[in-house]
């Protein structure tokens, strides 16, 4: 069976009896029950519009997480200064400082969206041009976003954890990225029909990209 025929079967099995797409929660469960099948049929399915929605949602949530982390950090620092010695003047100075929250939120959101688009282009370049596989930008973009469903759930949990401890946020992100990288290893070879050596090269590059996404809120906070 040629690739085109295979894709048509996969798209059909991705739909339920009412010819509707799976929910995000259904995809999330599928990533743990049938990870490779779920990732493959989403990658080659007609899901480009859904992928854009997931990209924007992840960008917005990461922007909100950055704001929450900043607010928590500033609040903690102000409390320490308030109860410290000779700190009232510094406390008043920081209290009156106008923090550009909207600008920070906007920059973070757009940065995440840009990184995800670049990620898809890199997958297109690695798989399509470098390894000579038949993959479109839409396929690459879908592949990026089916994995990001896990990251979206992780960011939502992190938004609550940020109110308690930054260390807890770090631990959550570590677990999320381990899960994502595991699924990536399991799916890269099968989804794009890569050789073992090609899969390793692609995996290393994609790891660097995902760590870049994780560093965006930290870089903005430091800036």
Provide the 10 A C-beta neighbour count for residue 197: 9
Q: What is the pLDDT of residues 67-126, one digit of tens each?
A: 888 777 766 554 454 455 445 455 445 555 577 888 889 988 998 899 889 889 888 888
Give 210's pLDDT tier (boundaries 50, 70, 90). Answer: low
Residue 188 is predicted with a pLDDT of: 84
Q: What is the pLDDT of residues 10-31, one digit of tens each?
A: 333 334 333 346 677 788 888 8
Half-sphere exposure of 20 (CA within 13 A, CB side): 5
Per the model's pLDDT, the better-predicted residue between 91 and 47 turns out to be 47
Residue 100 is predicted with a pLDDT of: 81
Separation of alpha carbons 124 and 133, rounded Å: 9
Q: Among candidates 196, 221, 182, which has minimal Cα distance to 35?
A: 182
Q: What is the pLDDT of residues 145-195, one digit of tens each?
A: 998 898 899 999 988 888 787 788 888 888 988 888 888 888 888 888 888
Residue for token pair 């797409």: 21
Three-state DSSP at 120 gives helix
Separation of alpha carbons 30 and 37, rounded Å: 8
List CB contacts of 209: < 8 A, sequence separation 6 or more. Answer: 115, 118, 119, 122
The CA dihedral of 20, 24, 28, 33, to the nearest 10 degrees, is -10
Separation of alpha carbons 223 and 203, rounded Å: 30
Write out the two tokens for 147. 């994995």
Separation of alpha carbons 65 and 58, rounded Å: 10
């Amino acid at each position: 069976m040629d690739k085109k025929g295979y894709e048509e079967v996969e798209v059909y099995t991705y739909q339920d009896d009412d010819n509707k797409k799976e929910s995000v929660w259904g995809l999330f469960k599928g990533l743990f029950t049938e990870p490779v099948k779920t990732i493959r049929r989403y990658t080659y399915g007609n899901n480009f519009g859904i992928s854009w929605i997931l990209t924007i949602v992840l960008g917005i949530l990461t922007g909100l997480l950055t704001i929450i982390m900043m607010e928590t950090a500033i609040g903690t620092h102000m409390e320490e200064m308030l109860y410290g010695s000779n700190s009232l003047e510094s406390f008043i100075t920081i209290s009156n400082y106008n923090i550009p929250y909207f600008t920070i939120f906007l920059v973070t959101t757009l940065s995440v969206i840009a990184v995800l688009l670049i990620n898809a282009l890199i997958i297109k370049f690695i798989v399509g041009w470098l390894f000579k596989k038949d993959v479109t930008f839409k396929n690459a973009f879908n592949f990026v976003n089916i994995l990001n469903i896990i990251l979206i759930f992780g960011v939502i949990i992190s938004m609550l954890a940020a109110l308690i401890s930054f260390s807890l946020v770090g631990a959550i992100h570590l677990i999320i990225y381990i899960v994502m990288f595991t699924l990536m290893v399991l799916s890269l070879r099968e989804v794009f029909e890569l050789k073992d050596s090609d899969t390793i090269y692609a995996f290393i590059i994609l790891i660097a990209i995902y760590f870049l996404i994780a560093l965006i809120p930290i870089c903005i906070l430091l800036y």
